[in-house]
Amino acid sequence: MFVDRAKITIKSGKGGNGAVTFRREPFVPEGGPDGGDGGKGGDVVFLADENLRTLMDFRYKRKYEAENGQNGMKKNRFGKNGEDLIIKVPVGTMVIDEATGKIMMDMTEHGQSFVAAKGGRGGRGNARFATPTRQAPNFAEAGGFAKERQVILEMKLIADVGLVGFPNVGKSSLLSLATSAKPKIANYHFTTIDPNLGVVQLYDTSFVMADIAGIIEGAHEGAGLGHYFLKHIERTKVLVHIVDVSGSEGRDPKDDFDKINDELAQYSEKLTRKPQIVAANKIDILGCYDDEDLEICDEYIQFREYAEGKGYKVLPMSAASGYGIKEVIEEAYRMLLEVEANPPEDDDELEYFDFDVDDVDEDYRKVFAEYDGENYIITGRQLEKIFNSTNFNDAGSRRYLFKYIEKSGVYDELREMGLEEGDTIKLFDMEFEYYEEDYNYDI
């Protein structure tokens, strides 16, 4: 099964907590603090791997977590850093932040990688807080928070040449004749339900060709899995538009030609600017088997004049007999060389994720007040870190926490909500009573 879209949750590692320890060595009087720092949490890293072809693995595992940093230890020993989590994805995968809808990275090359979620910093041990006036700090710093986010993985095939056209017009047949690919071929619509790739060997070079599964009218609106098929055309450089010029299924070739181009334009104006060759397939059904026959083949001549009148080059082809296959491949390669020599400007107005902004949490230092009808609640990201770092058996550590809350001005907000003396305030998993003139709170 070809899976080209998945949604997963990623979470970096939490930073390890700093240690609160003191030297206890023989013959060392008044041993000072020796708590080591915690280790950094592991990052979540995406890596493009050309050996992967689909996003199938992400259908069965949806949550990925990096390793937490180890806590600090006594004797100034630092905790071990958490292992980074490497998530391998196929080349051609876009990683999108679900919350913002912005592209984090477009993984277009083998070995390309980026950090999607940074691990938390390790907390400082109590040895770091020793000063001449505070020689025995009885507290340490908690490790930094892990970062968790939902991301969407969307894969688009990277091919040099894309084959487009209605179902059952001969795309898979051309791919099988031009490459070593073995797509399923049968005389019914949507024989091909997944895009197929093959490598065309031409002279002393090669290029990648993709059979984009059959597009139908209304595909740009999702009909016939339209978006599933159309998005894989976006990365191709040259299009080979295959048309059943015989009208063997009762359709008008000129009408088929216009409908496919209209679907491409409706999906993305960018697709209409791609170089396009028109391969008039199934000329053998019209009784045309060589160049001489084509000069008197009215159906083919009429179609050729119609398509060339719109600026497209038309080449006759019969996938059944092999006639014209070489000419179509050579023309596709010639166009490919032109595109690579003069690449078009990328005018896509895509929004990319700003990692610099993501690293700066504007609300990190804010303290928030809330009243849920029963409890007065105080929360905050940095406040939570200070709370986790507080040693409630140490008066200085407690005093630092509550002075931080007081200076934030959150008590003024709570009083506006109705807070009075003696009311209980909830601070994470702890509760204390509030008194305006006495900050030795009853915990």
Domain boundary among 155, 178, 193: 155
Per-residue pLDDT of 213-237, as tens digits, reads 755 554 444 444 444 567 778 888 9
Residue 353 domain flag: no
- What is the total count of domains within the chain? 3
Domain that holds residue 324: 161-341
What's residue 202's pLDDT? 87
254-292 confidence digits (pLDDT tens): 999 999 898 888 888 888 889 999 999 999 898 887 777
pLDDT above 70 covers what percent of the chain? 88
63-72, 259-268, 302-311, range with the lowest pLDDT: 259-268
Q: The domain that contains 396 carries what CATH number?
A: 3.30.300
- Could you count the other beta carbons within 10 Å of the beta carbon of residue 420? 10
Same domain? For 195 and 332 the reply is: yes
pLDDT of amino acid 389: 86
Q: What is the CATH number of the domain that holds 250?
A: 3.40.50.300
Q: Is residue 140 packed enough to be buried (19+ CB in 10 Å), middle (13-18) or exposed (0-12)?
A: buried
**282 Cβ contact list (under 8 Å, min separation 6):** 169, 170, 244, 245, 246, 248, 318, 319, 320
Q: Give the tokens for residue 19.
A: 């240690």
Share above pLDDT 90 across residues of the chain, in percent, rounded to a whole number = 38
Which CATH number characterizes residue 85's domain? 2.70.210.12
Q: What is the pLDDT of residues 350-379, one digit of tens each?
A: 677 887 777 766 677 788 989 888 889 999
Q: pLDDT for 392-402, tens place per residue?
A: 888 878 888 88
Q: What is the pLDDT of residue 226?
A: 43
Output Rg (C-alpha) for the chain, integer angstroms: 33
277, 312, 341 - which closes a domain: 341
Residue 385 pLDDT class (50, 70, 90 cuts):
confident
Any domain includes 222: yes
pLDDT of residue 159: 84
Both tokens assigned to 74: 């006594």
> Of 41-45, 157-161, 425-429, where does the model show the most confidence?
41-45
- Does residue 270 share a domain with residue 385? no
Res 47: pLDDT: 97
The predicted pLDDT at position 215 comes to: 58
* Same structural domain, 13 and 135: yes
Same structural domain for residues 172 and 265? yes
Do residues 193 and 318 both lie within one domain?
A: yes
Confidence band, pLDDT 50/70/90 cuts, at residue 5: confident
